[in-house]
Amino acid sequence: MDFVKLEMDGALATITIDRPKALNALNRQVLSELSDAIGQVAANRSLRTLIVTGGGEKAFVAGADIAEMANFSNAEALAFCEQGHRVLDSLEALPIPVIAAVNGFALGGGCELALACDFIYASEKAKFGLPEVTLAVIPGFGGTQRLTRIVGRARAKEMIFSGDMIDAAKAREIGLALEVVPPAELIEKCKKLAANIAKRGPLAVAQAKRVIDAGADLKLGDANAIERDGFMKLFATADQKEGMAAFLAKRPAEFKNA
């Protein structure tokens, strides 16, 4: 892959969008490579967490590639939009937790990429925004919907209608970013969280992610029914037996993802 790097280190995978001359902008090739990387992560059952970040010091992903999009026909615009949705949907659907390490500009498609992750840790230098209206278009990779679900309708409208950027501190204030750290500490902060998650029962973490996401837009009673089903199913796993036996024996658990 030319612009997407995939690294696997034990239970941790890291995907880096690395197209520095274009501030890591997303074009059709980058999206295709990103899809391939996500597919490799999905196929590796030894992985417990994924970090997504941008190469260099300036940008996470500065947006979609305007030079490529400028002369799209309606059909080409739809195909590009659909490609972006497929890729980000596949990222969001991964059973392992996905951490966005936002190290710089996360604008347009870059902000949408971060929104498709389970949570965002941001560098103090990070900037977020959905500036598509300044180009007379709207977000096309799920930004109008995911941002609304995270920060609420009014905040999402404020960001999308104005097209303005917000800094990392504001992103944390409105609930877009979980934590803001000095640039030099960002990746280590994400790796520390990833290592902590990796110690937990992997089937339980995956089930918790499934239950939370599946129930988020349902009535409470329907969502709780999904939780009950997920809770019950884990009692058929070897990891559940091991986890509770280890607790009673006062020893560390050795989970097998089974």
Q: Are 65 and 25 in contact (CB under 8 A)?
A: yes
CB 2, CB 33: distance < 8 Å: yes
H or E, element range at 33: helix 28-43
CA nearest 177: which of 169, 165, 185?
Answer: 169
Alpha helices, DSSP H, located in 96-201: 109-115, 143-151, 153-162, 168-173, 186-198
Is 112 annotated in the active site? yes
Q: Which helix (DSSP H) or strand (DSSP E) does residue 53 occupy?
A: strand 49-54
Kindly list the distances between the CA atom of residue 162 and the CA atoms of 67, 104, 106, 127, 157, in Å, as whole numbers in the listed order.
22, 20, 16, 15, 8
Q: Which of 132, 173, 227, 242 is catalytic?
A: 132
- Would residue 92 show up in a list of annotated catalytic residues for this protein? no
Is the Cα torsion angle 118, 114, 30, 183 positive or negative in sign?
Answer: negative
> One of 57, 112, 158, 242 is an active-site residue; which one?
112
Separation in Å, CA 219 to CA 162, 214, 254: 32, 11, 36
Q: Which residues are catalytic?
A: 112, 132
